Amino acid sequence: MTPSRPFGRALCAMITPFTPEGTLDLDRAQKLADRLVADGGCEGLVLNGTTGESPTTTDAEKSALVRAVSEAVGGRAAVLAGVGSADTRHTVELARDAEMAGADGLLVVTPYYSRPPQAAVEAHFRRVADAVGVPLMLYDIPGRTGTRIEVETLLRLAEHPRISAVKDCAYDLLSSATVIARTGLAYYSGCEELNLPLYAVGGAGCVSTVANVAPRAMRAILDAYDAGDTVGATRAHQRTLPLVTLMMASGLPGTVTTKGLLGALGLPAGPVREPLLPADAATVDGLLAAYEELVGP
């Protein structure tokens, strides 16, 4: 069966560009968004997520970014806005603001730190879905939130007309495949190393941090698989692994490695905001070498 793909297949978890002084740089955000869509083939952009440094941006900055990027891509790609927080009321406010700013969908993470039980997790997502008119992508990342979205909870939430997708960072392929088989939820891999495995069991695509720098290489995996070239898809996946390892599994946040590499390439990025610190020169040199090995100088 062809999976539902409400936001396309190849999505980028976009960084938030800042000026050298650390303020929001909407001009560079628009330029990066246009590059990712027009040149990179991204079918969706996810803003204000962890890669977008959402813990350090204000509500007003979040709305301004969604508005600017929506204007820049002009309907050529889906624009999703991260609206998650540990407070349901605040999440609803962010969701309504993002919808008014032009978001096509919302990324809603499980409430974190307080570790709510499953009934509370379900109620949280339903409150947000009931408050807006755009579809939701639930974000299951227990390694950061401390709480899974359990299979039975997902099965119930799948019945809501505006809960349409999941960004999957649970590292539990069996549970993900089970939900895919029993619902119409579109599953997007949020873990680069699982992009192809999840796609092969019925996933809809990926939300990729690495796509900020190598969007064509990440999309090529999905394109080859859709063309029936599973060997080619595997080879394309394997070619990305050295860069994926350095960007996502080196002990540094993906935001830090992405901005370091984008800066070395002369592309819009700017600094990270504290408490994050920039990548050092040796790290950037390694990233640049892996990037050039993957896509060329």
What confidence tens digit (pLDDT) does each residue in 180-222 have? Answer: 999 999 999 999 999 999 999 999 999 999 999 999 999 999 9
pLDDT at residue 2 tops 70: no
The answer to whether the pTM exceeds 0.95 is yes
Give residue for tokens 């997007």. Answer: 188
Q: Give the pLDDT band (50/70/90) at residue 19.
A: very high
Mean pLDDT of 148-170: 98
Report yes or no: 202 and 1 within 8 Å, Cβ to Cβ: yes
pLDDT at residue 264 tops 60: yes
Q: Give the pLDDT band (50/70/90) at residue 296.
A: confident
pLDDT at residue 255 tops 70: yes
Mean pLDDT of 90-113: 98
pLDDT at residue 6 tops 90: yes
Task: Write out pLDDT tens, residues 106-153.
Answer: 999 999 999 999 999 999 999 999 999 999 999 999 999 999 999 999
Q: Give the three-state DSSP class for 186.
A: strand
- Among candidate residues 31, 113, 139, 259, the one labeled active-site is 139
pLDDT value at position 252? 97
Mean pLDDT of 220-237: 98
139 is catalytic: yes
The Cα 168–Cα 176 span in angstroms is 8
Percent share of the chain, pLDDT over 90: 97
- Among candidate residues 167, 187, 225, 259, the one labeled active-site is 167
Report yes or no: 36 and 216 within 8 Å, Cβ to Cβ: no
259 is catalytic: no
Report yes or no: 88 and 127 within 8 Å, Cβ to Cβ: yes
pLDDT value at position 4? 84
The Cα 112–Cα 110 span in angstroms is 6
Task: Write out pLDDT tens, residues 30-51.
Answer: 999 999 999 999 999 999 999 9
Q: Return the CATH number of the domain spanning residue range 10-227.
A: 3.20.20.70
- Residue ranges of the domains in the chain? 10-227
Q: Give the pLDDT band (50/70/90) at residue 268.
A: confident
Q: Token pair for residue 201? A: 């069991």
Q: Token pair for residue 288? A: 């640049």
